[in-house]
Structure 1
Amino acid sequence: MTSQTLRPNRDLREDIKAYWSLRAETFDTQPGHEIFSEEERAAWHALLRRHLGEGNGRQALDLACGTAVVSHLLDDLGFAVTGMDWAEPMLERARAKARDRGRQIRFYMGDAERTMEPDDSYDAVTNRHLVWTLVDPLACFQEWKRVLKPGGKVLIIDGDFVNPSTFTRLIATLKSWFERKKAVPQTGGSSHNLPKDMMATHREILSQVHFRNGARAEAVCALLAEAGFTDITIDTDLKAIHRTQRKHFSLLKGLERATQHRYAICAVKPGA
């Protein structure tokens, strides 16, 4: 065994926290993170409505909220939103954004695996690009089920960013070749465009998380079922979102993103 393998989860979780704290500075400048058009915003609204419906004052907990992109989308739809993250630099930007937009969104620092929120307190739990980073996803899913009201829903938006399709590998190869030739400028929205030291940290973290071999939707669903969720559905129809994002990427980067295994998974806490 390597020394990395023997490192306790506590250290890994601190590494993840530090990594996302550093990413906060440029997070909102990157397409695929922040929203850059009303067309893209409408596409996200449609996805959230498809699975969660209108808010109508219902309580939503947005886990690993980052700079609050999804929190604001939920607020748009009429949810009473609590955003939680454990990286204070992300929360600073989230709070500033809410102040600038006049939004009444509650933000606090917390751990998605141990939220410290009361039982049966939320109608919806959401997260975007969190699950692939989890050390113990089953424990997280059990925690999310605990804080949901009976009949409440969890909505996971994520993807397998480890195992590209053959087409995606071809696109990535072409993109790399063009970038070396200076034909295509580097664009944001990907860990592959980070400085070398942060890239190394990203790879080290990825090698130790639960989904180190890729967060396939079916594997996530199996753990949700084990945690006690029912009515689990996989939605891979994210074309409308990808189409609007493509305007802010190079041609090859847009095609690469559209062919990745990205999905939304919705599941229900039984007992309504």
Structure 2
Amino acid sequence: MDGRNFDLKEEIRDYWSRRSRTFDLAFGHRIPAGPEADAWQRPIRDLLGPAPKRVLELACGTGEVTRLIHDLGHDVTALDFSEAMLAVARAKHAGKTRLRFLLADAENTLEPDQSYDAIICRHLVWTLTRPEETFREWFRLLRPGGRLLVFDGDWATPKFTGRAAGLLISLIDRIIGPDTNYDGAMSERHAAIMNALPFGAGLRPATIEPLLASAGFRDIALHSHEPIARAQRRNANLRNRLRTFVYRRFILTCRRS
């Protein structure tokens, strides 16, 4: 790894490794079957089409999005640089074919050139320490015509209407106690990591679109995250419903020309 970022990357790895123990218990991370899984899966289906593809999932975590891709019939390489996260994912998907787990860095995968038809990641881009180099790495991994799908958001600055939701969440926390499984953007350790990252002040499409274009990607398009948020609200308690209103989330797609 780049020595300039060694301490930060190790802090990120340790943070997510520790969170692996309760990650699936936190709202917004586990993807339950039914409307929410369908809402997450729809952009993947639209991007990949019906024919089997070779897909690289970056920062797979505990393997929730992995399941959605694999269930569509694709060959999946699920990559993460936290051994603890991968251990959970491997146990969850034990015995499945067409699925390979890989311990590696999403910023420098060491995978062969032009080896994938698509790359998918959820809540990864905001953590990148070298975004320009990383986007060039992802471009290298894709075959001509290959697609990139990003699920992410601006976790630094609440929406104008999201501030009211945040205040209501704080009120609920004071009344019934905090959600011990949820570590949001304002926790001390999470905030310290954010402050050290290039996108720590907020990840916005207008910021990353020119970086993707510079790396060679074309047909950059934004898609609404609202269908996923609506599905998440269907069976959530009040505090978790409010969480879906706090931050701007987005879906971005592009392709290698």
TM-score (norm 2): 0.92
Is 1:95 matched with 2:95? Answer: no
CA contact (8 A) 1:185 1:250 kept: no
Aligned-partner Cα distance in 1 for 2:159–2:91: 39
Amino acid at match of 1:170: A
- How far apart are 1:259 and its partner, in Å? 5.0
CA contact (8 A) 2:166 2:242 kept: no
Structure 2 counterpart of 1:85: 80
Asked if 1 retains the 8 angstrom alpha-carbon contact of 2:166 and 2:246, the reply is no
Contact 2:22 2:181 in 1 (8 A): no
Deviation at 1:146, TM superposition (A): 0.1
**Residue of structure 2 equivalent to 1:258:** 245
How many Å apart are 1:185 and its aligned residue? 6.5
CA distance in 1, matches of 2:229, 2:67: 19
Q: Alignment length, in residue pairs?
A: 255
Is the contact between residue 142 and residue 256 of structure 2 (CA under 8 Å) also seen in structure 1? yes
Which shows bigger deviation, 117-126 or 35-44? 35-44
Residues 76-100 of structure 1: CA deviation (Å, up to 9, x unaligned): 1111000000000000111111116
- State the identity %: 40
What corresponds to 1:3 in structure 2? none
Residues 103 and 96 (structure 1), Cα distance of their counterparts in 2 relative to 1, 3 Å cut: farther
Regions of 4+ moved over 6 Å: none
> What is the aligned partner in structure 2 of residue 217 from structure 1?
205
| Contact 1:187 1:249 survives alignment (8 Å) | no
- Superposed, 1:1-272 pairs within 5 Å as 8-54=4-50, 56-99=51-94, 102-182=96-176, 186=179, 188-191=181-184, 199-236=187-224, 238-258=225-245, 260-270=247-257
Aligned partners of 1:138, 1:230: CA distance in 2, in Å? Answer: 15
Name the SS for the 1:35 alignment partner: coil
* 1:206-245 C-alpha deviation (Å, 9 max, x unpaired): 1111101100111121211111100000112x22221221
Q: Which runs of 5+ in 2 are unaligned?
A: none
Name stretches of at least 5 consecutive residues in structure 1 with no aligned partner: 1-6, 194-198
**Structure 1, 257-266 or 10-19: larger mean CA deviation:** 257-266
**RMSD of aligned C-alpha atoms?**
1.9
TM-score by length of 1: 0.88
Between 1:26-35 and 1:106-115, the stretch displaced more is 26-35
CA distance in 1, matches of 2:152, 2:91: 26
Cα pair 2:156 2:185 within 8 Å, conserved: no
Deviations 1:10-50, CA, capped at 9 Å, x for gaps: 11111111111101111111221111232211111212122
Distance in 1 (CA, whole Å) between partners of 2:54 and 2:66 is 12
Could you tell me which amino acid in structure 1 is paired with residue 74 of structure 2?
A: F
Distance 1:34 1:256 in 2: 15
